[in-house]
Structure 1
Amino acid sequence: MRITDYTSLPSCFITATDTDAGKTHVACQILNAWKQQGFSVAAFKPMATGASYYDGKRVSEDAQHLAAVTGQPVTEVNPYLYDKPASPHIADSNQTFSLMDCLDQFKQLQQKVDRILVEGVGGWCVPLSNTLMLKDLATAMALPVVLVSRIGLGCINHTLLSYHQIQRDCDLWHGWIANVINPDFTDIDSNITAIEQRMTSGTV
């Protein structure tokens, strides 16, 4: 199912076809849509890589955008932040990420608000450590999974592969969002249609 109405979304886990697919942009739109409906909201981006520096403080730009919408402290939105812009299992050279600690923080946030949005890092099969992958975190949280697809060259393959893998790994699939990064891309509609048709027909 392609999602175009964000107001109908429940609390969810956002993943993407690849890095820079626009997860945070879409996440902020969803959070704002919930707020307009009168829901209290929270964002949680457990892990981020490629820290930036503002006023002498290490921050995740994505977490800053999310916190600006929800009003949370940035450190509450993003507890694990690493300097190196790399896959988390590489950026986290000391393997400090704790799944149990992350789940505890998630559950505390979940109890405070009507809707919570969790944003992953990279795509569905990104390693978080030497033993964990993003999909392990998503399945442990047990939220409906929403896939953000970067619409451009290669998006059909990337979207269908991610969709297929998510369905293999869990029963949490909720739907996908087409995110048009480049409005000058000439085949936007035909690519979106190709993805929708193949998901609907089950030919993936």
Structure 2
Amino acid sequence: MSFFVTGTDTDVGKTLIASALLHAFAARGLRVMGMKPVAAGSVAGIWHDVVELEQASNIVAPLDVRNPYRFEPPVAPHLAAQQAGVVISTQVIQAAYRQLSVLADVVIVEGAGGFCVPLNDTESLADVAQQLGLPVILVVGMRLGCINHALLTVLAIQSRGLRLAGWVANCVNAGMPLLDENILAVQQRINAPLLGIIPHALNISAMQTARHLQVDKLCL
């Protein structure tokens, strides 16, 4: 019952959807924990995606387990790590996940950027998803170009032998032309359930977002 949440790009709402999933599973009486293996980009020393996942979780775990790697610059993880003189280890991430999986019934692991974002010279977040062996939930940011981005990401997920458990249409752009037609085009081409359509709204909370998700549709 754990999942890896990825997106078609950066800033498509992965943290919002990951946190909403935590609320949805917690409402079923499950112990839930959000994990952010790598966070890049802080505001006044605060990594807001890490904080949001913590607030949506209903059990407690050390920060370095929930979030093994944190970097201040809002750049690609491998570049942020290079600037900090750090080499991101997928073994460290795997060990942290194993600790969380003992504590929680459901661990939601949120990626960074898109599915294939590099972590070091040879590995990417796609490798992490594959090593953890988790079903993937894809967040599609509904904007121009989203169909191509969604289909390419699905191909990348499938190439790793991973199951696409479902996808979410997140309406990140207000007034996107032909929104319904774009959602239908993605839905017709992805062999995985549409878990929900998140309307465009400023400052929508994770708990409010959870009401738009149908986790019972997940392909387990």
Pairing partner for 1:86 from 75, 86, 92: 75
The whole-number CA distance in structure 1 between the counterparts of 2:47 and 2:169 is 24
Query: What's the CA shift string for 1:37-79, capped at 9, x where partnerless?
Result: 10010111010111222xxxx3311001111111545444222
State the shift of 1:28 in Å: 1.0
- In structure 1, the residue matched to 2:50 is 63
Contact 1:64–1:74 (CA under 8 A) maintained in structure 2: no
Secondary structure (helix, strand or coil) at the match of 2:140 reads strand
- In structure 2, the residue matched to 1:107 is 98
How many equivalent residue pairs? Answer: 187
One-letter amino acid of the structure 2 residue matched with residue 66 of structure 1 = L
The whole-number CA distance in structure 2 between the counterparts of 1:171 and 1:43 is 20
One-letter amino acid of the structure 1 residue matched with residue 50 of structure 2 = A
Query: What's the CA shift string for 1:150-170, capped at 9, x where partnerless?
Result: 011111111011111111122
One-letter amino acid of the structure 2 residue matched with residue 149 of structure 1 = V
Given the two structures, how large is their TM-score scaled by the length of structure 1? Answer: 0.87
The whole-number CA distance in structure 1 between the counterparts of 2:24 and 2:127 is 28
CA-atom RMSD, angstroms?
1.4
- In structure 2, the residue matched to 1:151 is 142
Query: Are residue 176 (structure 1) and residue 163 (structure 2) matched?
Result: no
Runs of at least 5 residues in structure 2 that lack an aligned partner in the other structure: 192-220
The share of aligned pairs that are identical, in percent, is 39
Query: What's the CA shift string for 1:141-183, capped at 9, x where partnerless?
Result: 1110111100111111110111111111223322211111124
State the shift of 1:16 in Å: 0.5
The whole-number CA distance in structure 2 between the counterparts of 1:104 and 1:133 is 17
Query: What's the CA shift string for 1:118-151, capped at 9, x where partnerless?
Result: 0011111110111111100000011101111001
Contact 2:136–2:163 (CA under 8 A) maintained in structure 1: yes
Secondary structure (helix, strand or coil) at the match of 1:146 reads strand
- In structure 1, the residue matched to 2:14 is 23
One-letter amino acid of the structure 2 residue matched with residue 24 of structure 1 = T
Contact 2:136–2:162 (CA under 8 A) maintained in structure 1: no
One-letter amino acid of the structure 1 residue matched with residue 73 of structure 2 = K
Contact 1:125–1:135 (CA under 8 A) maintained in structure 2: yes
One-letter amino acid of the structure 1 residue matched with residue 171 of structure 2 = V
Output aligned runs, 1:1-204, within 5 Å.
10-53=1-44, 58-71=45-58, 72=60, 74-93=63-82, 94-200=85-191
